[in-house]
Structures are given as structure tokens and as C-alpha cells.
């Protein structure tokens, strides 16, 4: 177990350098005017130009200069110094305000996925081929097939504007109630995937040889299903939900943008809109780290859940 974690940790360090290098290179390398690249089509003031040149060491040139700048960027990132956005606000501060909201939203979404998705998935898996199974399958296919850019505005329009069951947009400091509808919209995709995954997993495990063994021990069917089958089938589901939580945290860009939720995704959404290059780079860098860490956590979780991995 210990060796497993160490190995994964080393892999993550490699992935961290690789990914940040790619992000950085894509942002800055080979661009005619890197400052204009950061600012997009917006005019850049002299003060901004001076700040950005200093911040990103843009005066150093050539291949060596690129790596010099990259490691500079990296050390700033590791120290938590993300610099300022074009509007002059510290990016660290923007993110510090945004995280709690995003985490709340992600937790609501995961809760929706677990409560409805996993439960329905288990039932569908046990009654494979039943009407319940077939209709949930079709329903999840619908949810998965409808892009968020359709689902989110539609839910906002119908439930928020037309029937006014939920607040259509949330304010600066959204309440749980204001986050509920976006949370459900966000969670519906995870719900559908979790449902399908649970169903397949339960159905496959029900046919496993160890189920036959458990039955021949004379255990009641209820125990065979709830202990033996579920413990095995939920391994991929739990790891999926872990990955998904990481995904949801690293930016429910569309949902937060549509519902005006001042989370991380919303800030990224707005940064893209306003062509605030430093803010985009800052947020994306942090999100990549969040993504990598959440992947590591999930891998460790997987190892905890599955002894075959643990003792590999």
C-alpha cells in the first residue's frame, strides 16, 4: 500500500511538470507578442505591459528564456502566488472567494448522483431487462445526450423564469436553495453515468462465481446482494464518483456561467469572455493541479477498496 502511494505520488509529480509545461508552452511559446496573447484583443496599457513583462519575465528571450520563465511561473504557482488579473485583483483572492461556492455546488451534484443514480443503478442491475431497467437506461441516454449548454439554460428558463420554482440566478453569496437547481443540472450528468456504471457493474457481479459460492453457503439472497455483490460492484462506481467530484470542482464552467454562480468555473467563464489572459492562465493552472490531486486521491481510494490493487 505504501509503495503504491509512493509510486503514484512520483507519477503525479511527473504529470504535474508535464501538464504545467504544456499549459505554459501553449499559452506563451512562439507567440509574436506574449502580452497581446494574454490580453487577447483588448488594448494593453503601459502599466499592464510593464507588470506582465516583469511578472512573466518576458524580457528573457530564446529557448533558455522560455524555461527560465516556465520555472519562474512554476515556483510562483507552488508558492500560491498567482499574480493579478488584468483588472488588478489578486488571482489568489478571486479563487479564495470562489472555491467555497464551487465545492458546495459540486457536493450537491455528487449527492444527487449518489442518492438517485447509484440507487436506481443497483435496482436496474438487479432487475436487468425489466421495464424499470429499460426506461432508466433510455432516460440516462437522454440526459447524457443532451449537452449542458442546452440543459442548463432550459432548466433555468423553465424552472427559474417560467414556473419560478427556483431562483433563476444566484447572487454574490448564493444560498443552498439557490444552488439546488444548478446542482441538480450539474449532477444529472454524473447521475446518468453513475446509474449506467452501477447497473452494468451490479449485473456483471451478480453473475460472478463468488455469488454462486455465497448462495451455496446458504446465505439469504438479501445478504448475498447487499454484502457480496454491492461491495464489489461499487468499487468502479465510487472511483468514478471520486473522479467526477474532481471534475466538478475543476470547473462547472457552463453551469456556473449560466446560473451566475460566483464559483471557479464562473470566473473562468468570465475571464474567457473578457479576454483576461492572466486570470485564465492562473485559474487553469490551479484547476490542473486540483485535477491531478483528485486523480491521485481516487487512485488511492481504489487501492483501499480493491485488495487486488493494494497488494500488487
Partner 1 sequence: MSDFETVASSENQAARRGVSGEPGTPGRVGQPGRPRSLAGDAWRDLRRKPIFWISLALVLLVTAMAVAPGLFTRNDPTDCILSRQHAAPSGGAIFGYDFQGCDTYARAVYGARASLLVGALSALLTGIIALVVGMLAGYFGGWVDAVLSRIVDIVLGIPLLLAAIVLLKRVASDSATVRLGSVIFVLAVLGWTTAARVVRSSVITARQQDYVAAARMLGAGNGRIMWRHILPNALAPAIVVLTIALGSFIAAEATLSFLGIGLKEPTISWGIDINNGRVHMRESATPLLVPSTFLALTVLAFIMLGDAIRDAFDPKLR
Partner 2 sequence: MPTPTSPPTPASPTPPGEHLLEVRDLHIEFRTGEGVAKVINGVSYHLDPGETLAVLGESGSGKSVTAQAIMGILDTPPAHIRSGQICYQGRDLLELPEEQRRQVRGKEIAMIFQDALSALNPVFPVGWQIGETLRQRLGMSRADARRRAVQLMELVQIPGAASRLDDYPHQFSGGMRQRVMIAMALAMEPKVLIADEPTTALDVTVQAQIMDLLADLRRDLNMALILITHDLGVVADVADRIAVMYAGRIVEHADVRSLYRAPAHPYTKGLLESIPRLDQRGGKLSTIRGLPPNLMRIPSGCPFHPRCPYVQQVCVDVVPHDLVLGDGRTSACHFAQEVHDDRAG
Copy the grid coordinates of residue 188.
444529472
Check residue 228 and report its DSSP letter.
Answer: I
CB of 130 or CB of 175, closer to partner 2: 130
Shortest CB 119 distance to partner 2, Å: 21
CB of 90 or CB of 236, closer to partner 1: 236
Query: Is residue 101 within 8 Å of residue 262, measured between CB atoms?
Result: yes
153 binds, among partner 1, partner 2, none (CB under 5 to 8 A by kind): partner 1
Rounded (10°) angle between helices 131-145 and 176-206: 130
> For the chain, what percentages of helix, strand and coil (3-state, to nearest 5) are there?
80, 0, 20
Copy the grid coordinates of residue 300.
488511492
163 binds, among partner 1, partner 2, none (CB under 5 to 8 A by kind): none
73 binds, among partner 1, partner 2, none (CB under 5 to 8 A by kind): none
Shortest CB 77 distance to partner 2, Å: 39
Place of cell 509510486: 7
- As a whole number of angstroms, the distance between CA 275 and CA 206 comes to 53
CB of 58 or CB of 301, closer to partner 2: 301
- As a whole number of angstroms, the distance between CA 276 and CA 35 comes to 11
249 binds, among partner 2, partner 1, none (CB under 5 to 8 A by kind): none
Shortest CB 307 distance to partner 2, Å: 4
Enumerate residues 6+ apart whose C-beta is below 8 A from 223. Answer: 214
Shortest CB 305 distance to partner 2, Å: 7
Rounded (10°) angle between helices 2-28 and 277-305: 160
40 binds, among partner 2, partner 1, none (CB under 5 to 8 A by kind): partner 1
228 binds, among partner 2, partner 1, none (CB under 5 to 8 A by kind): partner 2
CB of 222 or CB of 273, closer to partner 2: 222
Shortest CB 283 distance to partner 1, Å: 9
Q: How far is CA 294 from the centre of its chain?
A: 9
Q: Contact residues for partner 2 (CB under 8 A)?
A: 208-210, 212-220, 223, 228, 231-232, 235, 305-308, 311
Length of the chain equals: 312
Amino acid at each position: 500500500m505504501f509503495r503504491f502511494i509512493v509510486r503514484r505520488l512520483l507519477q503525479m509529480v511527473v504529470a504535474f511538470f508535464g501538464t504545467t509545461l504544456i499549459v505554459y508552452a501553449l499559452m506563451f511559446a512562439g507567440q509574436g507578442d506574449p502580452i497581446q496573447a494574454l490580453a487577447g484583443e483588448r488594448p494593453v496599457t503601459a502599466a499592464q505591459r510593464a507588470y506582465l513583462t516583469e511578472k512573466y519575465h518576458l524580457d528573457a528571450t530564446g529557448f533558455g528564456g522560455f524555461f527560465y520563465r516556465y520555472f519562474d511561473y512554476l515556483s510562483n504557482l507552488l508558492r500560491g502566488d498567482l499574480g493579478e488579473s488584468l483588472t488588478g485583483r489578486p488571482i489568489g483572492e478571486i479563487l479564495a472567494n470562489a472555491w467555497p461556492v464551487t465545492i458546495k455546488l459540486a457536493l450537491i451534484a455528487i449527492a444527487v448522483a449518489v442518492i438517485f443514480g447509484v440507487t436506481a443503478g443497483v435496482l436496474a442491475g438487479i432487475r436487468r431487462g425489466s421495464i424499470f431497467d429499460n426506461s432508466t437506461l433510455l432516460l440516462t441516454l437522454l440526459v447524457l445526450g443532451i449537452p449542458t449548454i442546452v440543459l442548463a439554460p432550459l432548466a433555468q428558463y423553465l424552472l427559474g423564469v417560467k414556473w419560478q420554482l427556483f431562483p433563476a440566478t444566484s447572487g454574490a453569496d448564493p444560498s443552498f436553495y439557490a444552488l439546488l437547481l444548478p446542482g441538480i443540472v450539474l449532477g444529472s450528468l454524473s447521475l446518468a453515468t453513475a446509474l449506467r456504471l452501477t447497473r452494468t457493474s451490479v449485473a456483471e457481479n451478480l453473475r460472478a462465481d463468488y455469488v454462486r459460492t455465497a448462495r451455496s453457503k446458504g446465505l439469504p439472497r438479501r445478504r448475498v446482494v447487499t454484502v457480496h455483490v454491492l461491495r464489489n460492484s461499487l468499487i468502479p462506481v465510487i472511483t468514478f464518483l471520486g473522479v467526477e467530484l474532481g471534475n466538478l470542482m475543476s470547473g462547472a464552467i457552463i453551469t456556473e456561467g449560466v446560473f451566475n454562480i460566483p464559483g471557479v468555473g464562473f470566473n473562468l467563464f468570465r475571464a474567457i469572455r473578457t479576454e483576461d489572459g492572466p486570470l485564465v492562465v492562473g485559474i487553469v493552472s490551479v484547476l490542473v493541479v486540483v485535477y491531478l490531486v483528485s486523480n491521485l486521491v481516487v487512485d488511492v481510494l481504489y487501492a483501499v477498496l480493491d485488495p487486488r490493487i493494494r497488494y500488487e
